[in-house]
A and B are shown apart, each in its own frame.
Chain A
């Protein structure tokens, strides 16, 4: 009996200890934000070590910058790869109090919110490089509640149509579609000729959402996501539900590949390159996949890009994790300043080398884009000027719309259930953020 009492007391003591420790370990300092100081790019940093978290597909991106920065300042920069799924990994680490100095991060409202930007991230207001960016890119993304938290380093991805030029040529198509109706009409025409017009990757799921989002281009310009954020409009309302219904209708009409349920990202790239399908609605990472499969000359010959929306050739931009970096509040003022210095160098003196090393489109007028950048990527970059924000870019939360759409493709959800599940999850996330209207 005595033992029993002692054991109970022990458990009670342990429990109270645990309860006392019940606070968020990821909670950082919430000191008032003063004006941000930006050290000169060549300030000596001997003895300072900075850590950058990167994903498996972005861990080689900083190479040229790291080398240049280390030589210029004497700092040491370590790039640490966080295994996929990258976003989950980083969020979990940050939640448990583990932070790097810098990290690749999707500079969208929803993803900055997911990192609890105001607590965990350094504000990058008055960043010295912003003025040198092309005007349309300066305030396009990376900003949450009027504070800049992310540095855009490469062209944000755009949702649009990648097509096989040779397939179009053989089918005698010389004019690209100019709006949604002509786009779908083109699909039907190609199907009539025995060509698979569209290719979707139902098994790998994540690209399914682009089909719905590009149909929302005009609505997005008109403030759709603001209304969704405020709880005034729902995924189940006419606009988004309509886009889901349309997508389902096109699948049922047979305009997609026959193996839509089992096709993967890899298959999608192979199919478009081989001309087994004419068009794919995708983002930049799809093109990176093609670049890994073949060279620029072949890509220029075969693959083209055009943006599409209901009322015209409007792109829907969706910056991703490899497009931007965020700097963390680590509590160490010197290191925080060093992180900002690295970003200024990256977008300053180091930018020319970076763009050349990555063969990517330059974001600055003063730095020229290398000549070996494929044409399709230039078209993507050109479409950015009048593009509209995607769900990820403008909504406060990023529900698993793509999973629910993939369920629809597999036949386990109706289009109505897709919208409902998305709305439920969105509301849950919005409530967790304390958003009003939920």
Chain B
């Protein structure tokens, strides 16, 4: 299930190495080399080595996912002990109620915004910090710190910074010389952009790192050849380096877009879905519904989210992989 793996932040590491180091045009194996015999391969990598990882995967991922499918068709709630199958009733009532569709819309807008900002910032940082100087190394670490910070902590810090009497308005007041009291988190149109920026700020260090790794894989010869031909920095970047970054772009765009569809913590800490429900991501809606004791409905929503992510993930990743064909 590649889509899911990409959507789950915990597995970012594995994909990262996979997509960055994957060099598709590797020299084909010499035809003279003996093809390894199947039984020998078996000896080298016995299948049962997979068992420990598989158990964890089954218990913490497959079973909950299957449960997710099952409970969506029941009337599980905190109000009674029995759980009965009720068919597609949950789906019907959810889709006839506008809140779910609104939350889905908000989630998609949020995900697209995060994907754009996070990649833009990550790429700019990677280009700025590309050279391996001491200063650059230190600055890279500084930009990576938010990635390992608790998302809730980030959310609460930004909430304090962005409130009308917060530090940001204080700085703006000081600089402009007049009283500034913008409610950054209180605008029904623009707050979603602000929150997406916060999310992108938190994760841009990771994108930066991956773009840096991608830039390192570009052969010096290619860049040098371009230089000798008199190509400007911008032309080199646009025509050569950026296309060669395709695997990094695939990973970064896919994780940012699909990962932020599962977003919850930062938005919950900054706006709780407000103002006026304009930042109510599907996960916040799910959390609220679960809190009401409507466990089956919440499960149905999370199934809808799961399916939405899947539907988006397959075409998105295949389009992005297509771009890698230049390699």
Listed in ascending order, the chain A residues whose CB lies under 8 Å from chain B are 14-15, 18-19, 22-24, 26-28, 30, 85, 87-88, 91-92, 94-95, 113-116, 119, 202-203, 205, 259, 261-262, 264, 400, 403, 406-407, 409-413, 421, 424-425, 428-429, 432-434
Contact (Cβ within 8 A) A26 B78? yes
Contact (Cβ within 8 A) B66 A88? no
Q: A19-B70, A406-B276, A424-B97 are in contact. Are A429 and B81 (CB under 8 A)?
A: no
Instruction: A114-B78, A407-B277, A428-B297 are known; give 10 further A-B pairs, CB within 8 A.
Output: A23-B83, A27-B81, A85-B291, A203-B275, A261-B183, A261-B186, A409-B276, A410-B278, A421-B99, A432-B293
Contact (Cβ within 8 A) B294 A203? no
Contact (Cβ within 8 A) A411 B295? no
Give 8 nearest A-B pairs by CB, closest first.
Answer: A410-B276, A412-B276, A88-B291, A27-B81, A262-B186, A432-B77, A262-B183, A410-B275
Q: A203-B275, A410-B274, A410-B276 are in contact. Are A432 and B62 (CB under 8 A)?
A: no
Residue on A with the closest CB to B296? A432
Q: Count of chain B residues with Cβ under 8 Å from any Cβ of A?
A: 43
Contact (Cβ within 8 A) A203 B79? no
Give the residues in chain A near B83, CB-CB below 8 Å. 22-24
Give the residues in chain A near B292, CB-CB below 8 Å. 114, 400, 425, 429
Give the residues in chain A near B278, CB-CB below 8 Å. 410, 412
State A407–B96 Cα separation when bound (angstroms): 20
Contact (Cβ within 8 A) B188 A114? no
Q: A261-B183, A412-B188 are in contact. Are A91 and B291 (CB under 8 A)?
A: yes
Could you jot down 8 A-B contacts, CB within 8 Å? Answer: A23-B83, A113-B79, A203-B185, A410-B188, A410-B276, A411-B276, A432-B297, A433-B79
B93 within 8 A of A: yes
Residue on A with the closest CB to B99? A421
State A293–B63 Cα separation when bound (angstroms): 50
Give the residues in chain A near B272, CB-CB below 8 Å. 205
State A262–B273 Cα separation when bound (angstroms): 14
B67 within 8 A of A: yes
Nearest CB of chain B from residue A276's CB, rounded to whole Å: 14
Contact (Cβ within 8 A) B297 A88? no
Nearest CB of chain B from residue A86's CB, rounded to whole Å: 10
Q: Which residues of chain B (53-82) have a CB below 8 Å from chain A?
A: 58, 62-63, 66-67, 70-71, 74-82
Q: Which residues of chain B (276-306) have a CB below 8 Å from chain A?
A: 276-278, 287-288, 290-297
Give the residues in chain A near B71, CB-CB below 8 Å. 22
Give the residues in chain B near A412, CB-CB below 8 Å. 188, 275-278
Nearest CB of chain A from residue B59's CB, rounded to whole Å: 10
B164 within 8 A of A: yes
Contact (Cβ within 8 A) B277 A24? no
Contact (Cβ within 8 A) A434 B79? yes
Q: Which residues of chain B (81-135) have a CB below 8 Å from chain A?
A: 81-83, 93, 97, 99
Contact (Cβ within 8 A) B66 A14? yes
Contact (Cβ within 8 A) B63 A14? yes
Contact (Cβ within 8 A) B164 A259? yes
Contact (Cβ within 8 A) B66 A116? no
Give the residues in chain B near A433, CB-CB below 8 Å. 77, 79-80
How many A-B residue pairs lie within 8 Å, measured between CB atoms?
117
Nearest CB of chain B from residue A236's CB, rounded to whole Å: 15
Most buried by A among B71, B80, B93: B80
Decide if the interface of chain B is mainly helix, strand, loop or mixed: loop
Give the residues in chain A near B274, CB-CB below 8 Å. 203, 205, 406, 410
Give the residues in chain B near A88, CB-CB below 8 Å. 287, 290-291
State A27–B84 Cα separation when bound (angstroms): 14
Give the residues in chain B near A113, CB-CB below 8 Å. 79
State A277–B67 Cα separation when bound (angstroms): 52
Give the residues in chain A near B66, CB-CB below 8 Å. 14-15, 18
Q: A22-B70, A432-B77 are in contact. Are A400 and B288 (CB under 8 A)?
A: yes
Residue on A with the closest CB to B292? A429
Nearest CB of chain B from residue A281's CB, rounded to whole Å: 20
Contact (Cβ within 8 A) B275 A30? no
State A30–B82 Cα separation when bound (angstroms): 11
State A381–B67 Cα separation when bound (angstroms): 48
Give the residues in chain A near B273, CB-CB below 8 Å. 403
Give the residues in chain A near B80, CB-CB below 8 Å. 116, 119, 433-434
Give the residues in chain B near A400, CB-CB below 8 Å. 288, 292
Residue on A with the closest CB to B65? A18
State A169–B70 Cα separation when bound (angstroms): 64
State A119–B99 Cα separation when bound (angstroms): 32
State A259–B292 Cα separation when bound (angstroms): 30
Residue on A with the closest CB to B62? A14
Contact (Cβ within 8 A) A262 B164? yes
Contact (Cβ within 8 A) B288 A18? no
State A23–B83 Cα separation when bound (angstroms): 6
Residue on B with the closest CB to A425? B292
Nearest CB of chain B from residue A410's CB, rounded to whole Å: 3
State A116–B76 Cα separation when bound (angstroms): 12
Residue on B with the closest CB to A29? B81
Contact (Cβ within 8 A) A411 B79? no
State A22–B76 Cα separation when bound (angstroms): 10
Q: A18-B70, A85-B291 are in contact. Are A116 and B78 (CB under 8 A)?
A: yes
Give the residues in chain A near B290, CB-CB below 8 Å. 88, 92
Q: A88-B290, A116-B81, A428-B294 are in contact. Are A24 and B76 (CB under 8 A)?
A: yes
Q: Among the listed A91, A114, A407, which residue makes an inter-chain contact with B276, where contact means beta carbons less than 8 Å apart? A: A407
Give the residues in chain B near A114, CB-CB below 8 Å. 78-79, 292-293
Q: A22-B83, A203-B274 are in contact. Are A115 and B78 (CB under 8 A)?
A: yes
Q: Which residues of chain B (154-202) have a CB below 8 Å from chain A?
A: 163-164, 183, 185-186, 188
Give the residues in chain A near B288, CB-CB below 8 Å. 400, 403
Contact (Cβ within 8 A) A116 B183? no
Residue on A with the closest CB to B165? A267
Give the residues in chain B near A407, CB-CB below 8 Å. 276-277
Give the residues in chain A near B82, CB-CB below 8 Å. 24, 27
State A115–B288 Cα separation when bound (angstroms): 16
Nearest CB of chain B from residue A405's CB, rounded to whole Å: 11
Residue on B with the closest CB to A413? B276
State A178–B97 Cα separation when bound (angstroms): 41
State A310–B164 Cα separation when bound (angstroms): 35
State A261–B164 Cα separation when bound (angstroms): 11
Q: A406-B276, A428-B297, A429-B294 are in contact. Are A411 and B75 (CB under 8 A)?
A: no
Residue on A with the closest CB to B294? A432
State A87–B296 Cα separation when bound (angstroms): 18
Give the residues in chain B near A15, CB-CB below 8 Å. 66
Residue on A with the closest CB to B81? A27
State A428–B287 Cα separation when bound (angstroms): 16
Residue on A with the closest CB to B291? A88
Nearest CB of chain B from residue A336's CB, rounded to whole Å: 18
Give the residues in chain A near B276, CB-CB below 8 Å. 406-407, 409-413
Give the residues in chain B near A22, CB-CB below 8 Å. 67, 70-71, 74, 83
